[in-house]
Amino acid sequence: MTYEDLLEIEAIRQLKARYFRLMDQKRWDEWEDVFCEDVVISTPDDTGEGSDITGNRSFRQYLEPILAPIITTHHGHMSEISIHGPDTASGVWSMEDHLDWPPDSGVGQMWGTGWYEETYRKGNDGQWRIATLRLRRQRIQVEGNRVFPAERPTA
């Protein structure tokens, strides 16, 4: 790790902070810009599918209507960020999210934990953005009942 790396790591930490805050404050126009235009999003544990979403516009179009009626809190913890070159980096974050659906939805409250595994790319404008994002779920609870994983680990 070099002094230069420290500057890049802090910039990426603040990038990820904006990712969380702008999502939870539903400031979607600003939120779009934390991603590369060709970002690849992989959330197989949430969607139950292997298919990825490509593109920051597509990801917003997918997520904004889902989250619109929901109070969402997403927190990242314990970042492990590595700088690989002048414009490439990767990182792992521990993740926790709390989602609160409206009463008439019948869904209730969701709580989950997991890890983000990400790569970052610095643009010609000198800004780091998320290039790939994979969310590995550890567990999901709805109204206090575990819905993921289906089976508990055994000794």
- Binding part of the chain for its own copies, among 31-39, 42-50, 55-63, 69-77 by CB under 8 A, reads 69-77
Question: Would you count residue 6 as binding its own copies (CB under 8 A)?
Answer: yes
One character per residue 109-128, x = contact with its own copies (rule: CB under 8 A): ----x-x-------------
Which residue in 27, 57, 77, 84 binds its own copies (CB under 8 A)? 77
What stretches of 3-47 adopt beta strand conformation (E)?
35-42
Compute CA distances 19 → 8, 75, 120, whole Å: 16, 10, 13
**What 3-state DSSP class applies to 20?**
helix
* Residue 110 in tokens: 């969701």
Please, which residues bridge with residue 142 across strands? 110, 145
Question: Would you count residue 61 as binding its own copies (CB under 8 A)?
Answer: no
* Residue 136 in tokens: 């590995």
* Residue 18 in tokens: 């904006």
| Residues of this chain that bind its own copies (CB under 8 A) | 1, 3, 6-7, 9-11, 13-14, 16-18, 20-21, 24, 65, 68-71, 73, 75-81, 92, 94, 96, 98, 100, 102-103, 113, 115, 138-139, 146, 152-155
